[in-house]
Amino acid sequence: MTPTPTTQIRLYRSPVVPSEGFIHGFPERSGGVSTGVRASLNLGKRWGDDEANVITNRHLLAAHAGYDPAELQVTRHVHGTRVWRVGEPLAADAEFDGLVCDRVGPVLGAFAADCIPILFAEPDARVCGAAHAGWRGTVGGVAANVIARMAEVGGRPARIRVALGPSIGPCCFEVGPEVVAEFRAAFGEVPGMVVAGPHKDHIDLRVATRFVLERAGVEPEAIDDRPPCTRCEGDRFFSYRRDGKAGGVHMGFIGLTR
């Protein structure tokens, strides 16, 4: 018997994504059927949860948000920069950290559990995108690659709205000097990107992502880059830094509507 959720699904939504023509959201951790450290709306299959629980959770989310669960488009993320456009041939074991779509029906999903799930919307060209961006994907420019692929189907960078989902904040993202060196090599001395911590430096992934987006042509006011910190808010969000692989996974989603 499938367990029954004991709490309601809650969606974190961004004001920069138009409500007309798009469906989107970043679900919090409540409202699902997974248990233990993964309680309760775990949406990822890779870290050991019962697959039946994950499937149930994905169906619960789809029913709550108002899309067909069969239309969910997801790929295996590998902290890379490759972007898939819905409709292109896709192998069962395909690995992409970004997705783009220009038709009604498919809903793009980007998994994360401290990394940034990023959602993209271009209302004039009617194209959307999603990306998973950890520190490697951020340095590699996965967000810029999504914008480039959106441009292939008419999306204009200056018209794209971008929402950064719940993710680890600069308060909690402590890194080693080799990671700091990677960011500085990629972006130079961006103000606020490297933050001094009590033991090691911290990286503000939101500042770095904004730099990538603006460099790709997105207007500054079209970027929502102040989501909650997943590690800090354990009652609302999963966090790999906090819980490890025993924890759960979020999924930002976006799709076009009629």
What is the average per-residue pLDDT within 103-126? 98
- pLDDT-above-90 percentage for the chain: 94
pLDDT tens, position by position, 195-253? 999 999 999 999 999 999 999 999 999 999 999 999 999 999 999 999 999 999 999 99
pLDDT band at 6 (very low <50, low <70, confident <90, very high): low
- pLDDT-above-70 percentage for the chain: 98
- Going from N- to C-terminal start, the domains of the chain cover 18-168+225-256
Residue matched to tokens 């909650």:
228
Domain 18-168+225-256: CATH architecture, name and number where available: 4-Layer Sandwich (3.60)
